[in-house]
Amino acid sequence: MLETPPLMLPEFSVLQARLALCSREEAEAALARPQRTLSDLAALLSPAADHLLGEMAAASARITRQRFGRVIQLYAPLYLSSYCSNRCLYCGFSADNEIPRRALSLAEAEAEAAILEQRGFAHLLLVSGEAPAKMDVDFLAALAARLRGRFASVSIEVQPLATAEYARLFAAGITGVAVYQETYDREIYATLHPAGLKRDFARRLDTPARAATAGMREVGIGALLGLSDWRAEGLALGLHLAWLRKNFWRTGLTVSFPRLRPAPGQFKPLQPVGEAELSRLLFALRLFDPDVGLVLSTREEERYRNGMVGLGPTRYSAGSCTVPGGYGGYDEAGGAAGEQFAVGDLRSLDEVAAMIRQRGFDPVRKDWDPVFQEIATTDKELKEDFAHG
């Protein structure tokens, strides 16, 4: 068997130096090419391509339409727990923040899911802070077992897990894993993650590969925009994406572009990223990888999400609430208390779907089916399977 070669991620300063070398000629040539290399991606992200935003948008729109059609997939996050042992300085769930915390029980999580199901969602993303004592693999597997018949797909965005844990969750009906590096800038990463399991940059970087190894159908990566130089983050995302493509050819890949939103803890973006920069990053990655799914969440405002329909993103969240239990009205009196971040687009699924339709695209609610996967009948059975290797 072929060994998977390790991901060689250069130091952030090396990526920045590479970007600084790009010329206008290289940027224009990169735009004109039918397929693009990492050098082309660097050129398209570099200051030398700043004048090409409109042309990149048009190219991104054309490639996206050709590859995905006039279609946008819709999903909702379901927050399970706001307990977290990490101290990520930018995050509302940081252990240092004094917020009301909550971890849903299985029954509560199922009730939240039932509300989303009733609102018309078929794709669910389970989200949790990193506190294994409050939200562990047993819980996720049990929840997946309860949800899998009712949703087209259930994915997770939780703490990094081991390959065997991902394999167990896959067998339980979880088909996708999202795990964002937050920043590919090792120095900034170290200062922003002073404590907790998340301190380990390399372990986090290796997480998408573990999820893919375990058989997950889809793996999502991303960088939290506002922490470091967005251009170099984009190049690092391209490197990570290309490496995953090369080594895990059976795995579908997506990239998310979470931009820092106001959050408890009053963290101010270190290097604010504007909408033009966010768009540029998204267009460049689309031009680099025509097949990658691109996710635009409700972190962004209504106006921006409306404008971006058709230009590159393939997936939108809608009607999101970032407090555990928030869909059922828990904490209604408390307002924004306990949120991970404030959402920028407050519209419901139906409203977002109507907007997408009005712009000539099809808002797709169901784009998968649990029947693809043979499922073990009980999680107990799964555990026994694992015990027996």
Partner 1 sequence: MLTIAGRSFRSRLFTGTGKFASAQVMRTALEASGSEMVTVALRRVDLHDPGDDIMRLLDRERFFFLPNTSGARDAAEAIRLAHLARAAGGTNWLKLEVTPDPRTLLPDPVETLKATEELVREGFVVLPYINADPILALRLQDVGAAAVMPLGSPIGTNLGLQTRLLVAIIIEQARVPVVVDAGLGAPSHVAEAMEMGADAVLVNTAIAVAGEPVKMAEAFARAVEAGRMAFEAGLGAQRAGAEASSPLAGLDFLRPEPSPEPSIDA
Chain positions contacting partner 1, by CB under 8 A: 1-2, 29, 31-35, 51-55, 57-59, 61-62, 245-247, 249, 260-264, 266, 268-269, 272-277, 279, 303-304, 306-307, 311, 336, 342
- DSSP states of 258-290: PBP---TT-PPPSS---HHHHHHHHHHHHHH-T
Q: How far is the CB of 25 from partner 1 (least distance, A)?
A: 11
Q: How far is the CB of 314 from partner 1 (least distance, A)?
A: 18
How far apart CA 225 and CA 94 sit, in angstroms, is 18
Q: How far is the CB of 129 from partner 1 (least distance, A)?
A: 19
- Contact between 301 and 345 (Cβ < 8 Å): yes
Closest CA to 179 of 155, 154, 214, 196: 155
Closest CB to partner 1 among 35 and 118? 35
Compute the chain's Rg from CA coordinates.
Answer: 20
Q: How far is the CB of 330 from partner 1 (least distance, A)?
A: 20
Closest CB to partner 1 among 27 and 144? 27
338 in the Ramachandran plot: left (φ > 0), alpha (ψ -120 to 50) or beta?
Answer: left
Q: How far is the CB of 228 from partner 1 (least distance, A)?
A: 14
Q: How far is the CB of 355 from partner 1 (least distance, A)?
A: 13
Closest CB to partner 1 among 165 and 277? 277
Closest CB to partner 1 among 135 and 311? 311
**3-state secondary structure (DSSP) of residue 244:** helix
Q: How far is the CB of 276 from partner 1 (least distance, A)?
A: 5
Q: How far is CA 214 from the centre of its chain?
A: 18
How far apart CA 197 and CA 28 sit, in angstroms, is 43
Q: Which residue has the tokens 């409306």?
A: 306
329 in the Ramachandran plot: left (φ > 0), alpha (ψ -120 to 50) or beta?
Answer: left
Q: How far is the CB of 36 from partner 1 (least distance, A)?
A: 10
Provide the token pair at 206: 């290796």
Closest CB to partner 1 among 303 and 380? 303
Closest CB to partner 1 among 249 and 389? 249
Quick one: CA dihedral 329, 331, 335, 338, positive or negative?
negative
Closest CB to partner 1 among 215 and 304? 304
Q: Which residue has the tokens 């996967």?
A: 373
Residue 387: how many other CB atoms lie within 10 Å: 7
**3-state secondary structure (DSSP) of residue 175:** strand
Provide the token pair at 229: 């130089």
Closest CB to partner 1 among 61 and 376? 61
Q: How far is CA 359 from the centre of its chain?
A: 25
Closest CB to partner 1 among 148 and 261? 261
Closest CB to partner 1 among 17 and 276? 276
Provide the token pair at 77: 């996050």
Q: How far is the CB of 386 from partner 1 (least distance, A)?
A: 24
How far apart CA 130 and CA 82 sit, in angstroms, is 8
265 in the Ramachandran plot: left (φ > 0), alpha (ψ -120 to 50) or beta?
Answer: left
Q: How far is the CB of 33 from partner 1 (least distance, A)?
A: 4
